[in-house]
Structure 1
Amino acid sequence: MEAALSIFKLSFLLSLLSGGSDFIDSRSQPGQVGTIPPSCIRVECPSYELVYAGNGYEIHRYNATVWISTEPIQGSSLNEASGTGWNELSDYMSGNNEYHQRIERILPYITQVSQNLSTFMVSFFVPKEYQPDPPPPVNNLHVQRWDPTYAAVKQFGGYVADHTIGNKVAELEASLQGTVWAKAIEKSRETGSNWAYTVAQFSWPFQWDRRVNEIWFPFEMDDEEIVNIVTQ
């Protein structure tokens, strides 16, 4: 039994390290909370492995990704910052970059929120075709490269709004309370991360129905430690 478990742990670890597909979330009922967003069935989205499914949350391991991002936007409104960032990034995608290259807009677009809730950074996911060498921006944008990272994720529908986003964040925090994931998230925030959480929007601004959004709490944890947790 111990030998079989050791083999399983090794297989799982190798899958994480290699980005293998054995543990990729393959659910395919669009529009329902806890499923793949409909947009990700039609177009590219950041790929991830579903590491753990909890009560009201999931733990994802995202592969390395490249984003085009705004400079930090100061303010008190996530909606206003997201709108400002959307306009700046749309200009870049329309060809206002060093290569004068038009780039297809794909989802999600994300807004990172600082721990003091007064600074935001908005980013577009770069299509995989351009991930190795995205066209350099010519305005106040920059390329943001993410190493493989873990995140606790909560999915919800409707529009993202300033007056409700705090409740969604609180719901995810409550779901994680007392878990090893909560401890890892707290430790990551204490050891250098400026961002408290990320809001990922998987629907276009003028899409009225079947909207899907996610709250991400990124954190750092050793792959082998993850394996030990999920295979206990």
Structure 2
Amino acid sequence: MMMGVCKLAVLLCLICLPVSSGSIIDRLFRRREVTGRPEFCGSYQCPNFTVVSAGEDYELRQYEPTTWVATARGNGWFSTFYMYMRLVKYTVRGYNSLELRMPMTVPIVTKISTTAPEEMMFMLPEDRQKDPPMPTNALVYIVKMPALKVYVRTFGGFASDSDYDNEILALKSSLGSDNQYEQNVAYKVGYNSPFTWFNRHNEVWLVAA
């Protein structure tokens, strides 16, 4: 019951998420460099990547180094909502050292690890990648993500935690050998506002070994 209330609260409060007209990943992007903004990013800034190769139901992407703002999950039913709101305050509301309000970007990434607390991350806008304002909340911090090669599986709909978990398992099954990806980390990736009803775009990432 309380978990349902928590999810409803998050849904109603994600008003700052961008509304995207994105769709399931177009196969035209496969096996070539993505020279423009992918359709599933809509009109919002998103990280640049190159598609290295593709399988039947996944692809291997090479992402450029990027700067993100992040926060770790705490305890309690509303921890996802609190993570989200801390990051919204830092970016959209300007709770940072420069009191600078920044636009939303996509995707919203949740990193899950067997060795560290779950983290939620927003990519910083292009003009703040090299010079991010410092957070004023001690629970919020800047993350410099190095160049990253990830296996990506795409799926649609309104994704729940269990949906993401099932898609991670499906991606692992498609890859087969455990030595192709790092065992202790995975990423849950969302691109859409809760008010986007159709053509939703979700992803799961596994870091290539």
Which TM-score applies when normalising by structure 2? 0.77
> Per the alignment, do residues 49 and 69 of structure 1 end up closer, same or farther by CA in structure 2, a change over 3 Å counting?
same
Segments ≥4 residues shifted beyond 6 Å: none
* Count, aligned residues: 178
Contact 2:22 2:201 in 1 (8 A): no
In structure 1, what is the Cα distance between the partners aligned to 2:103 and 2:154? 25
2:200 corresponds to = 211
Shift of 1:66: 0.5
1:141 corresponds to = 140
1:77-88 alignment, distance < 5 Å: 81-88=79-86
2:54 corresponds to = 53
* Partner AA of 1:138 in structure 2: T
Residues 79-102 of structure 1, C-alpha deviation per residue, up to 9 Å, x if partnerless?
A: x54432211101111111010000
In structure 2, what is the Cα distance between the partners aligned to 1:75 and 1:161? 19
**Greater radius of gyration (CA):** 1
In structure 2, what is the Cα distance between the partners aligned to 1:89 and 1:30? 23
SS for the counterpart of 1:119 is: coil
> Per the alignment, do residues 34 and 183 of structure 1 end up closer, same or farther by CA in structure 2, a change over 3 Å counting?
farther
Shift of 1:169: 1.0
* Partner AA of 1:64 in structure 2: P
* Partner AA of 1:127 in structure 2: P
In structure 1, what is the Cα distance between the partners aligned to 2:145 and 2:175? 24
In structure 2, what is the Cα distance between the partners aligned to 1:66 and 1:114? 19
1:153 corresponds to = 152
Contact 1:33 1:157 in 2 (8 A): no
Shift of 1:103: 0.3
Gaps (5+ residues) in structure 2?
Answer: 1-20, 30-37
Higher helix share goes to which structure?
1
Which TM-score applies when normalising by structure 1? 0.69
> Per the alignment, do residues 173 and 106 of structure 1 end up closer, same or farther by CA in structure 2, a change over 3 Å counting?
same
SS for the counterpart of 1:42 is: coil
Gaps (5+ residues) in structure 1?
Answer: 1-28, 190-194, 221-232
Shift of 1:170: 1.0
2:10 corresponds to = none
Q: 2:190 aligns with which of 185, 195, 201?
A: 201
In structure 1, what is the Cα distance between the partners aligned to 2:119 and 2:131? 21
